[in-house]
Structure 1
Amino acid sequence: MVKLFKALTASLLIAILAACGGGGGSAGTPVQGGGTGTGGTGTGGTGTTANGQIVLSLSDSSGAASNVLTAAGLTAKATATDSTGAPAKNIVVTFTLDSVIAVLSPISGTALTDANGVAQISLKPGAGASTGAGTLTASATVTGTTAVTTTATYTVTSATITPSAINFTSAVPADKSIVLKGSGGNGRTEAALLTFTVVDSTNAGIANVKVNFSLPTTNAVTLGAASGISDSTGKITVTVNSGATPTTVRVIATIDGTAISALSDTVTVTTGQPTQTAMSVSRVKSDIEGIDFDGETNSVTVSMADQFGGVVANGTQAVFTTNAGAIIGDAGTSDTSRCLTVNGTCSVTWRSQNPRASVVTVLVTSANATQTLTSGTFFINSGSHAQFSTIPVFDFSTSCAPQTINFTVTDENGYILPTGSAVTIENLTNSTVTAYPTSIPEPSTAGPEATSVQLTVAPPGTCSPAAATVVSVKPVVVITTPKGTRSTKQLTLNYHGS
């Protein structure tokens, strides 16, 4: 009986110990494994439930088991298996720390198990002056809804986390260019974010290090903060806010209490709001043949700069209006009447259609923080049908010497004909007639304008004032527009001869 009682007692004690230590627990109750160990032994822990198990271990950069956290960091591996002992694949393991003397990388503290059921994460020292011991916890739901949790301890000493450098890392915006204060908007920023990284001798980031910021000279910018603390990856960001004056600036970042510093790349403050005096509008063609035709086009461009002559920020809006025809925005690509600047300029396409006017006016409107800006241009909308002034009869009854006369020509509304319209002579009948100019030039005014054409006429070689016979020749002046419309005017040449 005594032997039986001792055997039952031993069995009961083993069962109690198994429930309290690293052994199995009842389903639905996470059981945390033990194993705190000592520095340098690479201790870990095991957590087990009826749904699975997690084994947590720590190792140094060489892969050897260790729980001493140096600047090189430690790797924490959590190996998850299900209730059958098979690897638990593609489950999320969450790692947490109980102290700021260390930080996790990635900072999310989560990792996914691989085909072997292993999820791993890195530990790095935290604050430069913080030492001591801490605990890392790993937790995951292997199957079902019951979480499995286990822990491992580590130690940090001050000698392992001394910063050795601070590096300039990045800038936002990437082109390091910001606009003048008050000029921000869609696609324009008045602030640059400069990021530095505090690193140790192995170029590993160090968290919780104070960094001071300063400007090398007096600049028309302000810093968002005079100092800050590096994050878990050693990074720290400072904001540079623009002022009202164009300038360039570089920021100095210095690790507090040391001479360790870094200089940022140059940030440029150049682009401001448009001003009335730096706004101009131009068009490609001085006239178009649009009175009698739809769909003839002209390109109209606006150029804008700020008060210092710097081009305005990309995306500055310009709205176009016209007294005739229609405006197609963004260089003829959008169903708007506006365009957005790129490098300080943008254009729209004007198209001929109803309503029509002989002088087309295009106005452009933009704005800055305090006023509306307006500028404009004009061009002639020419008709295609020529109107001729009176051309006298050429009379060679007393002399056969060449004669020169002038006449004028306009479109049907009294404005200049389309530029490039050809002036030719037909039906010469052995006479000689030359015209100058041979094509209609560009308009020179915004109002009605006639083109003066000079004709030099010589009768045929048979001309003789002594001859009794009067011969009449009927040459024709022809004006042909670029669209192919022909207008004619008959000449009369009378001479004596055969």
Structure 2
Amino acid sequence: MPHKAVASPGLPPLKLLMCASLALALAACGGGGGNPGAVSGGGSGATPGTGGGTTAPAAPSLEVSFVNASGQSTNSLTAGTPLIAKATLRDSAGRVIPEALVTFSTDNKLALFSPSAGTALTDANGVATVTMRPASLGAGGAAKVSVTTTVAGATVTGERNYSVGATALTLSPITLSPASIPAYGSTTISVDVLANGARYTAQQLTVNFSSACVNAGKATLAATATTNNGTAQAVYRDLGCGTTDAISISADGADRPVTATLPIASPAAASVQFASAFPVEQSIVIAGQGGNLRTETATLKFKVFDIFNRPLQGQLVNFSVNTTDVKLNKASDTTDQNGEVITTVNSGTKATTFRVTASLGNGISTMSDSIVVTTGLPVQRAFSLSVGSPNIEGWSIDNIKTTVNVLLADQFGNPVADGTPVAFQTNIGAVGSSDKGACNLVNGGCFVDFRSQNPRVATPGSPSTPCNGVTPDSTRPGLASVCASTTDGANTVFARTAIFLSGSAASNVYLIGRTAPLTSTATDLGSSRSGDGKVFTLQINDINNNPMPAGTTVAVTSLTNASVVDVVPSTVQNVFPHNATADDITGTTVSGNQGSFHQVTVIGNAPTPCVAGTVATFSVSITSPVAKLITSYPFKMTLTCP
């Protein structure tokens, strides 16, 4: 039955009408006296909840839209026209929801978000926004933006398609301010990045700068610059390029680079300096002399600098020399990219010194260091050979060493070149080292070791040496001939020395004045008054009548009725081979006994009081320095009372 609006006592007509309307609404929603929860609709007998008049509850929504920077609706994205993606969030009743976290996502090969995380909170109007830009200037295609959020634990999503158009860029002509510069001046280089003929300001781009002078290190220019409001600028500064430079600018996305030319004035020469000479010791040899590691040509280098003390290219330099005794090979030269010029000078036939002058056309000049012209070749008369000890205890002991020293000079008395090799050979023992029987000169000198070993008796003429090619070596047992030589391939200079391999036993000792050697029988020195000194001299030789080793000691021992005053010398000194009249360090004229002489002084002391003659006895003991072998010879003399 239809409801009627019944007037209630005491209610105004307006309120009565409102109540009637409310009653009708409640009736439509199943209220107004019906069973709670019953769904109206359908006809009589309709099943609850299945009637055709039932409506499903509404769900929250997330709607996506795009606008450009001007607020116009569009879904077309380019580098010049970024998009703003907007996501509007409403609840099931259509009311906006503020402060909800919304996440945006898309194909990052086509577009990028700002902020880059792709998240935003809805504002008071329920709208979350992010800005979209192409991933690159060349990016193009279509994609969609997906958005998602959570409302009351339920996930709400939305999406919208968009397109990306690639952006073609061009570069404006280059602007130079000023258009030309003086030496070491500067200019500002500017270029605009254009999109469709207008400066591209949507985002900053990197612009690349280069030039020939910059690549050569003769100018400075930033390699890149970032656009500001579509324009990129860089400062070019000259470092002495001195020519017209070609400047090139390019940018990613631009269809082609642009170029410009910059005239640069040449810098003025301010100085010329002497740089170096070769050989570094500033010495060359007389023409035709040659020599190991020596040259007849001196190479001199000069360097030209500008007013900023930087090397200057393309400058003409003239050369002159202060003597006619050498030949200047090049009278002028032009500086290279390092500001350098060279000239060469050849030696003449005289020993001399010289300097080379380098001059510029503006009157600036400088001189080289002094260069010496000398021979450098060793000469025979300046070949010096010596040994550390000429008598070593090597007759019966191996590996006793001494040094063999060599000194060489040229015809002017100057040490010959470092590195000049000197070879050594010997007919007894061994000389040199395991890697070579030679040494290389340093400051005109060097040395090698000689050591004792077999053979100890020479074979005549073996080995063949430059020395015995002129004079035969000695074949005396225990006397080594050592030959040192050097050659430049045409001339050979050499020298010879000799070394005794002395025995450890004093086998041949002579009392001066007698011809027979001493024996183990006491040698009678005759008579002497008690208290008077007795002086006698011994010549001490080894088994080969060669000297005992240097360092051998001579002493008076086992005295009876006598006391020793002195033995002079008390040790064997260095003894060189000799003949009857002089030393011969080469050993080629050695003759006779080679032993050393020692003067012995003793005093006979008869018992006091001296009532009858008596006999004084003692021995002379000779001890070798290495083996410590002692050889003793007894003596006696008759003492008379004073």
Q: For this structure pair, what is the TM-score category when the shorter chain's length is used for normalisation?
A: 0.5 to 0.7
Aligned length: 411
> Closer, same or farther in 2 for the Cα pair 1:313/1:338, shift >3 Å?
same
**2 CA distance for matches of 1:305 and 1:76?**
67
**2 CA distance for matches of 1:335 and 1:76?**
68
Aligned partner of 1:377 among 497, 503, 507: 497
Aligned partner of 2:454 among 337, 342, 354: 354
Q: Which runs of 5+ in 1 are unaligned?
A: 1-13, 15-23, 42-65, 79-83, 143-147
Matches within 5 A, 1:141-290: 151-157=259-265, 160-181=266-287, 188-223=294-329, 225-256=330-361, 258-270=362-374, 272-290=376-394
Aligned partner of 1:420 among 544, 551, 555: 551
**1 CA distance for matches of 2:328 and 2:566?**
71
Aligned partner of 1:442 among 557, 574, 578: 574
**2 CA distance for matches of 1:377 and 1:426?**
37
**1 CA distance for matches of 2:222 and 2:453?**
65
How far does residue 171 in structure 1 lie from its aligned partner after superposition?
3.6
How far does residue 308 in structure 1 lie from its aligned partner after superposition?
2.4
Which residue of structure 2 lines up, in the alignment, with residue 482 of structure 1?
625
- SS of the aligned residue for 2:269 comes to coil
Asked whether the equivalents of residues 105 and 122 of structure 1 are also in contact (C-alpha less than 8 Å), the reply is: no
Cα deviation 1:314-349 (Å, max 9, x = unaligned)? 1111111112222235xxxx7321111111111112
Aligned partner of 1:337 among 403, 414, 437: 437
> Closer, same or farther in 2 for the Cα pair 1:179/1:496, shift >3 Å?
closer
Which residue of structure 2 lines up, in the alignment, with residue 54 of structure 1?
none
- SS of the aligned residue for 1:153 comes to strand
**2 CA distance for matches of 1:362 and 1:203?**
60
Asked whether the equivalents of residues 606 and 639 of structure 2 are also in contact (C-alpha less than 8 Å), the reply is: no
Cα deviation 1:322-379 (Å, max 9, x = unaligned)? 12222235xxxx7321111111111112122222252222111111352111112223
> Closer, same or farther in 2 for the Cα pair 1:311/1:399, shift >3 Å?
closer
**2 CA distance for matches of 1:369 and 1:348?**
23
Asked whether the equivalents of residues 34 and 150 of structure 1 are also in contact (C-alpha less than 8 Å), the reply is: yes
Which residue of structure 1 lines up, in the alignment, with residue 15 of structure 2?
none
- SS of the aligned residue for 1:169 comes to strand
Cα deviation 1:15-72 (Å, max 9, x = unaligned)? xxxxxxxxx899xxxx99866646x52xxxxxxxxxxxxxxxxxxxxxxxx5534322
How far does residue 154 in structure 1 lie from its aligned partner after superposition?
0.8
Which residue of structure 2 lines up, in the alignment, with residue 71 of structure 1?
183
**1 CA distance for matches of 2:237 and 2:315?**
22
Q: Are 2:590 and 1:451 aligned?
A: no
Amino acid at match of 2:625: P
If asked which structure has higher relative contact order (CA below 8 Å, sep 6+), I would say 1
How far does residue 479 in structure 1 lie from its aligned partner after superposition?
0.6
Aligned partner of 1:461 among 601, 606, 623: 606
How far does residue 106 in structure 1 lie from its aligned partner after superposition?
3.6
Amino acid at match of 1:451: S
How far does residue 247 in structure 1 lie from its aligned partner after superposition?
2.5
Moved more, 440-449 or 340-349: 440-449
How far does residue 137 in structure 1 lie from its aligned partner after superposition?
5.1
Asked whether the equivalents of residues 365 and 372 of structure 1 are also in contact (C-alpha less than 8 Å), the reply is: yes
> Closer, same or farther in 2 for the Cα pair 1:407/1:282, shift >3 Å?
closer
**1 CA distance for matches of 2:292 and 2:491?**
19
Normalised by the size of structure 1, how large is the TM-score?
A: 0.68
Cα deviation 1:427-458 (Å, max 9, x = unaligned)? 11232355643333432514332334444554
> Closer, same or farther in 2 for the Cα pair 1:192/1:403, shift >3 Å?
closer
> Closer, same or farther in 2 for the Cα pair 1:452/1:176, shift >3 Å?
closer
Normalised by the size of structure 2, how large is the TM-score?
A: 0.54
Asked whether the equivalents of residues 179 and 187 of structure 2 are also in contact (C-alpha less than 8 Å), the reply is: no
**2 CA distance for matches of 1:139 and 1:182?**
63
Asked whether the equivalents of residues 428 and 454 of structure 2 are also in contact (C-alpha less than 8 Å), the reply is: yes
**1 CA distance for matches of 2:504 and 2:237?**
80
Higher Cα radius of gyration:
2
Amino acid at match of 1:124: G
Which residue of structure 2 lines up, in the alignment, with residue 6 of structure 1?
none
**1 CA distance for matches of 2:224 and 2:400?**
66
> Closer, same or farther in 2 for the Cα pair 1:189/1:249, shift >3 Å?
same
Asked whether the equivalents of residues 404 and 448 of structure 2 are also in contact (C-alpha less than 8 Å), the reply is: yes
**2 CA distance for matches of 1:206 and 1:364?**
53
**2 CA distance for matches of 1:369 and 1:299?**
27
Which residue of structure 2 lines up, in the alignment, with residue 135 of structure 1?
246
How far does residue 244 in structure 1 lie from its aligned partner after superposition?
4.2
Cα deviation 1:274-315 (Å, max 9, x = unaligned)? 122222212222322222222222222211122222221111
> Closer, same or farther in 2 for the Cα pair 1:473/1:175, shift >3 Å?
closer
Matches within 5 A, 1:50-61: none
Alignment RMSD, CA only? 4.5
How far does residue 96 in structure 1 lie from its aligned partner after superposition?
6.5
Matches within 5 A, 1:359-370: 359-368=479-488, 370=490
- SS of the aligned residue for 1:482 comes to coil
Moved more, 174-183 or 320-329: 174-183
How far does residue 494 in structure 1 lie from its aligned partner after superposition?
5.3
Asked whether the equivalents of residues 180 and 270 of structure 1 are also in contact (C-alpha less than 8 Å), the reply is: yes
- SS of the aligned residue for 1:277 comes to helix
Query: Percent sequence identity over matched residues?
Result: 31
How far does residue 167 in structure 1 lie from its aligned partner after superposition?
2.8
**2 CA distance for matches of 1:372 and 1:207?**
49
Cα deviation 1:244-294 (Å, max 9, x = unaligned)? 4332222122224x4232222323334522122222212222322222222
Which residue of structure 2 lines up, in the alignment, with residue 431 of structure 1?
562
**1 CA distance for matches of 2:209 and 2:285?**
43
Asked whether the equivalents of residues 424 and 432 of structure 2 are also in contact (C-alpha less than 8 Å), the reply is: no
Cα deviation 1:396-416 (Å, max 9, x = unaligned)? 5x9656555554321111111
> Closer, same or farther in 2 for the Cα pair 1:284/1:237, shift >3 Å?
same
Which residue of structure 2 lines up, in the alignment, with residue 314 of structure 1?
418
